Chains A and B, each alone.
Chain A
Amino acid sequence: MAAYIAETFLPVEAHIKEHPAWFHRFDVFWTPTVLIFAPEGVERYRIEGYLPRDEFRAQLELGFARVALVKKKWADAEKLYNDILQRYPETAAAPEALYWAGVCRYSASHDASNLGETANSFKHAYQQSIWAKKASVWGG
């Protein structure tokens, strides 16, 4: 975990006793909270509350993937989402990764069948997730 954080991000520590003003500055009202910012300084992902190790690692990876997604680096983002799905299939991050991987494929190709295939994937896994509900509009 430490290696992943150190290699992937520029990490900043914000303890409420040392930097109380940052909590207001970044709209943080609960701890632990982890914010992930794109290099240009825009917040792209927020993890609020404690998570067990694998869940937390998967959420960090979702945050990193989102940075690529918003930059429209479709292939990079799709790979990151697929990696999450493959390595953390039992986590709450997995259905979110499945959803956004499909969005990446569609966005790169403009082929709506990619969305339908994603919706179809949810019929076999993560059916009760909010992401399956979001994908349901794509048919499949």
Chain B
Amino acid sequence: MSISWSKDVDAALAQAKESGRPLLIDFSAAPA
């Protein structure tokens, strides 16, 4: 299974609140 990463943190925060699911934010500086 692959991860469907969001790139909109505010939308994700809103979705977390609505869905009751916790949020995970992965901060990186790795080369693309």
A residues whose Cβ falls under 8 Å from a Cβ of B = 2-3, 5-6, 8-19, 22-23, 26, 28, 31-41, 44, 60, 63-64, 67
Given A39-B22, A41-B13, A6 and B27 contact (CB-CB distance below 8 Å): no
Q: List 26 A-B contacts (CB under 8 A).
A: A2-B2, A10-B12, A10-B16, A10-B21, A11-B6, A12-B9, A12-B12, A13-B7, A14-B28, A15-B28, A15-B29, A17-B29, A18-B7, A19-B9, A22-B9, A22-B25, A28-B27, A32-B27, A32-B30, A33-B27, A34-B25, A35-B25, A36-B23, A37-B22, A39-B20, A40-B17
Complex partner residue of A13 from B1, B6, B16, CB under 8 angstroms: B6
Interface contacts (Cβ under 8 Å), in number, total 120
Further 14 A-B residue pairs, CB within 8 A, beyond A11-B6, A14-B27, A63-B22 = A8-B22, A9-B23, A11-B24, A11-B25, A12-B6, A12-B23, A19-B7, A22-B9, A23-B27, A33-B27, A37-B25, A39-B19, A39-B21, A44-B22
User: Which residues of chain A are near B20, meaning CB under 8 Å?
Assistant: 39
CA–CA, A17 and B15, complex, Å: 24
**Overall SS of chain A's interface:** mixed
B residues whose Cβ falls under 8 Å from a Cβ of A = 1-9, 12-13, 15-17, 19-30, 32
Which residue of chain B has its CB nearest to the CB of A40? B17
CA–CA, A13 and B12, complex, Å: 11
User: Which residues of chain B are near A8, meaning CB under 8 Å?
Assistant: 21-22, 24
User: Which residues of chain A are near B2, meaning CB under 8 Å?
Assistant: 2, 6
Which residue of chain A has its CB nearest to the CB of B14? A41
